Structures are given as structure tokens and as C-alpha cells.
Structure 1
Amino acid sequence: MTLPLRAIDLDTVQAFVWVADLGSFTRAAETLDTSQAAISLKLKRLEDRLGCRLLERTPRHVRLSPEGESFLAPARDLLAAHARALSGIAPAPPRRLVLGISDHVAGPELPGLVARLAATDPGLVIEVRIGPSRDLGAAFDRGEVDAVIVRREGERRDGRLLAEERVGWFAASTWRRRPGEPLRLATLAAPCGVRAVATRALDAAGIPWTEVFVGGGVLALGAAISAGLGVAALAGRVTPAGAVEVGESLGLPPLPASQVVLRTRLADARAREALRVVGSAFRSAIPR
């Protein structure tokens, strides 16, 4: 006689999807606002129900087993169907989240972050603004944006620390400094915090420099690096393909790490949940 299939707990499926997406029990626990032990218990319960191992665990990595790879798409479909069923019973009013992200922070993972926001709450209208940390912080203080992910600047210590990432000196692999000439810098327009830190460090080290390119955003700055115009101070995560770190070879001063923080005043529980998801995903994207 065939035994009836036991029902699957949706919470365990949600935990599995987040561990698969973030590659970490710790990050999944942060996203779901629970403990790592609770996530492990949910995954064990789900694997027991399905009768197979979904994840291969090592001290450093979590990866999907072949069975986990097969189950991931149906798991997403199940969660999406559940969300559609609930919205059909009690449609939620449209909500808008205005999120500012520093151009020194918005790296190649930005499309993934936006996708995670949309997947967390399909009814959420997402407005993302990219700009300098200082401008976005001022917009947040004026109440023009709901939340910002920015570099911590000056003496401010508010906001939730998401990550610290190293800032270095980058140039095109073919770029060479001519003997005796000032260091040729590509920067963002003042008042950029990274520019201020970099130029102060050069002045303190007695290294002459000259500005040869001023960009309106990190994309333009990356184009200047790729074109071989000069050296720029950037986090490695947002540098253009082919750029190399040249600080040590040129004897340039080390730069302090950049602290990335999340500031929010949101009271709406669903929007705060979406921001937790983004914060966890962002921390997962930062190289350690």
C-alpha cells in the first residue's frame, strides 16, 4: 500500500530557499530574524519529510545537493502560489519603498538585491536612487527616502553596520606612472567622501597629485580607469573589469576600510522585512 505524502511546512521551505540563495545558514537566520539553530532544525525537518538530503554542509560552504537542485524551483513555485493565494483573499494596498544606495556601494550585485526585494513582497513598489553617500544621507534626514545603504562618513555612528570593505588604489593594467610627474587621479566630484580620504592620505604622505578626471558617478569613474587616464580610490567590488590594484607598487598610502551602513525609519513590518533581506544579501556579496 502506498503511504500518503506528508504535508510540507511552508516555513521549512522558506528557510531552505533562503539558505540556497544566500549560501549560508547564518545569513538566512538574519534574514528571517531567527537563530541559526532554528534554521538548521527547519532544514532537518524538511529533509526528513522529503527523505533526502537537500544541502551539503562543510565548515566554510553550503551548497545544494543534486536533490536540492531539483527541489529549488518547485520550492519557489510553492511559495509564490502561497503568496498569490493570500493576496487573492485579502489584497494588500500598494506600498512604496524608496531606497537610496551609494554609488560607491552599488556594485554588480545590485540587480540581485532588487530581485530579492521584489520576491520578498510582490506588492511592493520599489524606487531605487543611486547617488553620493552624503547626498543620500541628507535626503534621508529630510524624509525624502525611506532607507539608505551608504558609506559611514564623519562622526556619525547611527545606522546598522552591514559590512566593512577595503578601499584600494586601482588603475588599468596597462597604465604606468611617468617618472617625476604628479600622481594622476580620477575622482568623483566633491564633496565625495572617498575622494577626501584619498587626497588627505596622499597629502599626509607627501605624494604630489593632480586631478585628471572628475566623474559624476562610479560608472563614469570606471570608464576613466579603463581608458587609462589615471588612478582611482575605490572598493575592489565596484572596479571595472581588468582594473588592478597599484597602491603597493606605486608606494601609495593605505586607505581606511569603508563602513557600509543601513539607515531606515520604516515602521511597516513588510517593508522592514524586505530591508532585512537586502541587508543579508548585501553582506553575503561583500568579500571577506
Structure 2
Amino acid sequence: MPRNLDLTALRSFVSVAESGGVTKAAGMLNLTQSAVSMQLKRLEENLGLALLDRTGRGVALTPTGDQLLSYARRMLALNDEVYARMTDHAFEGQIALGVPHDIVYPAIPQVLARFTQEFPRVRVDLISSFTVQLKEYLADGSCDLILTTEDAAGPGGEALVELPLIWLGAVGGQAWRKRPLPLAFEQSCLFRDSVQRALDAAGIEWTMRVQAESARTIEPIVAADMGVHAVLEGTEPAHLERIAHGGELPKLTTKKIVLYGHNGAHDPVRDALAGLVRQAYAQL
């Protein structure tokens, strides 16, 4: 049957070890000396071990007590962290993060998971849309932070990373060999113009096989080998693959992932979320 250590007794033990005596520890803990002594005795009885060497004038730890001290500090630190997180009402409410459809994965789930651990009482609203729309949301206050994909950061923006566009197609697909080249893009996708310009410069005819409002519509079309698409390197969906075209398709330009909304008045919740976003995209 599992046995549990008394955290109150452990706190008294650590205080005695760090202060060098029961009297000082009692003052630190706002307890009587007899209460601290009783807790230490109960802890030793529970473990069946001598933790303190009482043969000298002061209080010294036995080798076993010295070993317990490291564990006790860690247990108390974790206890205090959990208690603070669960009972702290300073950080409550909600925050809205806007992210383009095509860069939500793989970074944003990691960001949300870590943020929720650090701010369990703050609700995160994830808004997925196009760069132009997200900038409007930031301007009207619908979003607190947004990410965009652009050629360069605009006023107030922070470029987090610059990534190349890559050709994307069905697993083992052959659509990329067709001429005119069938393209599949959202109507508002900022990548589309770059792709079309690159094809025009290479003298490759193309046709817009599919225009849609959502990446959810584009991905099954590409997966069915009905067209090709382009995404930022490192953000491609697992069910599609990079096209190994061997130079038969033109090299595409790069785009920057830009963070907006973090330059206003200091806000610890928003600043923490911005920091997690920076870390996640720096790893792409």
C-alpha cells in the first residue's frame, strides 16, 4: 500500500536544515518549537530513519537526512508551484491569437499546450484566416496577437523566421508533370501570386485547377493528385509530400512569418504568449 510523506513535516525539516536549528525554523514557520520538533519526530517515524544528528550542540543532518533534503526541496517547490498556479487569480480572462491556415501546424499546437500549462485560467481563442483579414482583426481589436506570411515585416511587425516556399503534391503524385500545370490555391492566398510569377518567368503554362476559401478544401484536391500547391518549408501536412521535380519546376521565393501585436503596453499574458510563439517558429 502506498505511503505518503507529510509535506508540512517536510517543510519543517527543510527549514531546520537551512536555518541550523529548531528555534530559528519555528520563527520562520510561525510555529512553536514543540510543534516543529513533533513534526520532525513524526517524519522520522514515518520513514523509520534518523534524519537529524542530535548528539552535538546544534542540529546536523545524518547522511540519510542529507539525501532527503534534496528530495524535500524539489517536492516543496513543485507543491508551491502547483498551488500558486491553481489559486492565482491574477491571470484570468481570454486572449485571441490569429494565425494563417497554412502555418498553424506544426508550431501552434505546441504553443497552445505550453501556454495552457502556464496560464490555466486564461482562454485562448485561435482565429485562423488570411494575412489581410488578420491584420484587420488586429486593427479592430478582435485579435491580440497575429502571425502573418509576408515578403517583409510591416510597421510594428517582428519577422520571426524566413522560409522558402516549396512545391507540394500528392504522395507519389504526377500532377506536377502535366502542362498546363494544374494549381490549387485559396483565393486569398498570398503565395499564389509568387507561384504564378515564378511559372511565368520559367515559361511554364499553368491553369488554376481549384480556387477555394479554405485550406481544408485545397488539401484533399492536392491529395487526390488533381493539382499542386505551395507551402512554407516545414509546414507541409503529413498526408502530402514535397515534389521531387528535379528542376522541372522553378525555385520559389521565400516568405517571412511576422508577429504583430506585442509592442503595446506591457501585458504579461500577451508577452508570454508572444514569447512562446517566437520559440516555436524559431525551431522551424
By how many angstroms is 1:275 displaced?
2.0
- Superposition RMSD on alpha carbons, in Å? 3.2
The corresponding residue for 1:135 is 133
The corresponding residue for 2:183 is 185
Select the structure with the greater relative contact order (CA < 8 A; seq sep ≥ 6).
1
Q: Following the alignment from structure 1 to structure 2, what is the Cα–Cα distance between the partners of residues 126 and 238?
A: 22
Change (3 A) 1:198 1:50: farther
Q: Specify the structure having the higher radius of gyration (Cα).
A: 2
1:92–1:123 contact (8 Å) kept in structure 2: no
By how many angstroms is 1:177 displaced?
4.3
The corresponding residue for 2:84 is 82
The corresponding residue for 1:217 is 214
By how many angstroms is 1:151 displaced?
0.9
Q: Following the alignment from structure 2 to structure 1, what is the Cα–Cα distance between the partners of residues 254 and 114?
A: 27
1:162 equivalent among 160, 163, 168: 160
Percent identical pairs in the alignment equals 23
Gaps of 5+ in 2: 1-12, 19-68
Q: Following the alignment from structure 1 to structure 2, what is the Cα–Cα distance between the partners of residues 80 and 161?
A: 35
- What SS does structure 2 have at the residue aligned with 1:166? strand
By how many angstroms is 1:236 displaced?
3.8
The corresponding residue for 1:14 is none
Q: TM-score, normalised to structure 1's length?
A: 0.65
Change (3 A) 1:209 1:222: same
Instruction: State the number of aligned residues.
Output: 219
Alignment of 1:67-106 (within 5 A): 79-85=81-87, 87=88, 91-92=89-90, 94-106=92-104
Change (3 A) 1:150 1:75: farther
For 2:201, the aligned partner's letter is: A
By how many angstroms is 1:155 displaced?
7.2
Q: Following the alignment from structure 1 to structure 2, what is the Cα–Cα distance between the partners of residues 204 and 74?
A: 65
Deviations 1:89-122 (A, max 9, x none): xx33733211101112111333222112222222
Change (3 A) 1:50 1:261: farther
- What SS does structure 2 have at the residue aligned with 1:237? coil
For 2:163, the aligned partner's letter is: E
Give yes or no for the alignment of 1:232 onto 2:234.
no
1:117–1:278 contact (8 Å) kept in structure 2: no
Q: TM-score, normalised to structure 2's length?
A: 0.66
Moved more, 177-186 or 93-102: 177-186
Q: Following the alignment from structure 2 to structure 1, what is the Cα–Cα distance between the partners of residues 185 and 225?
A: 13
Gaps of 5+ in 1: 9-48, 52-70
The corresponding residue for 1:196 is 193
Q: Following the alignment from structure 2 to structure 1, what is the Cα–Cα distance between the partners of residues 253 and 275?
A: 27
By how many angstroms is 1:157 displaced?
5.4
2:186–2:214 contact (8 Å) kept in structure 1: yes
Change (3 A) 1:81 1:278: farther
Change (3 A) 1:76 1:151: farther
For 1:246, the aligned partner's letter is: I
Alignment of 1:1-288 (within 5 A): 5=14, 50=70, 79-85=81-87, 87=88, 91-92=89-90, 94-153=92-151, 156=154, 158-177=156-175, 181-190=179-188, 192-246=189-243, 248-249=245-246, 251-265=248-262, 266-267=264-265, 268-284=267-283, 286=284
Task: Please list every run of at least 4 consecutive aligned residues from structure 1 whose deviation after the TM superposition is greater than 4 angstroms.
Answer: 4-8, 73-78, 177-180
